[in-house]
Amino acid sequence: MTSSPPPVLPDERLAAGAARLAVRYRGRFSAETVQRLVADSYAQVAEHAHVRTHLVVLAERFAAERLDALAHVEGAPGVGLPRVLFVCSHNAGRSQLGAALLAHRAQSHVVVSSAGTHPAATVEPVVAQAITEAGAHIANAFPKPLTDEVVQAADIVITMGCGDACPVVPGRRYLDWPVADPEGAPIGVVRIIRDEIDAHITELLDSLPGRRASCPAPPVAPPDPHHEGRTDVLQPARLRAVRLRPQRRTLADSRRIPQPSRGRPDRGPLRRVHPR
């Protein structure tokens, strides 16, 4: 029985990406399997794209993520780094926020991915701005459709407003974070949503056994050896409480301060001359 021929690639430029992925997964997936997955990834990304300029690049990235998830499922699920999947409706707001913040805070200790049940064309600009302000990266992020490989490879699936469209796979840990949708919201509201999601991520990281990660702490200045042991040096946190108040000058004070004479050069204080 002969295997079915690989599908014809919808864009000839996909051949180079399929060849790169075939080399990367050599010994695990055949070139035909890789090419079939690349063609399917291109079709799914193109279905929701408004601009088709970067479809080839996005299809290769999407196919690579799916192949990585499939390799994990066929290998040893549950072994290695924990894998977290964020799912919302359009994969343009909440799930992108969650994935970017977790990847930033976990520092390569967690494999993070995101997807949408009805993916949008692009990530919301205000969402990208809020992510960048938090120090996370979103340059290569784009809305992706939800696929079976990514769901099956996840250890934790976090749903964020996708309703009944989110698939349920036995043996996975499911969390539902009821946060507001940032679509069309001003940047001030999106920042509030971002911080709410970040609070959930703190709880999630604390619940991962032996893999706790936190935000990079701000650098702490080394102690000043000249101030060591002194108790009269104000700490930075206390400096904010100090308020300088203007001093009121009383009449008695003005009498004690020598005043310059008017209409004559300053020759020092005048001396009283007593008559003889």
Per-residue pLDDT of the chain (276 residues), as tens digits, is 456 666 778 778 899 999 999 999 999 999 999 999 999 999 999 887 776 778 899 999 999 999 999 999 888 665 678 999 999 999 999 999 999 999 999 988 999 999 999 999 899 999 999 999 999 988 889 999 999 999 999 999 999 987 666 767 787 899 999 999 999 999 999 999 999 999 999 999 999 876 544 444 333 333 444 434 433 333 333 323 333 344 444 444 444 444 544 544 445 554 554 555
Q: Quick one: CATH architecture of 7-75?
A: Orthogonal Bundle (1.10)
Reported in sequence order, the residue ranges of 97-191 that DSSP labels E, i.e. its strands, are: 111-116, 156-159, 173-176
Tokens of 10: 């919808």
CATH 3.40.50.2300 in the chain, residues?
80-215
Kindly report the pTM of this predicted structure.
0.71
DSSP structural state of residue 268: S
CATH 1.10.8.1060 in the chain, residues?
7-75
- What pLDDT is recorded for position 91? 94
Of 37, 145, 143, nearest to 94 by C-alpha is 143
How far from 190 is each of 87, 104, 123, 180, CA to CA, in Å? Answer: 18, 18, 13, 9
Class of CATH domain 80-215: alpha beta
201/104 Cα distance (integer angstroms): 11
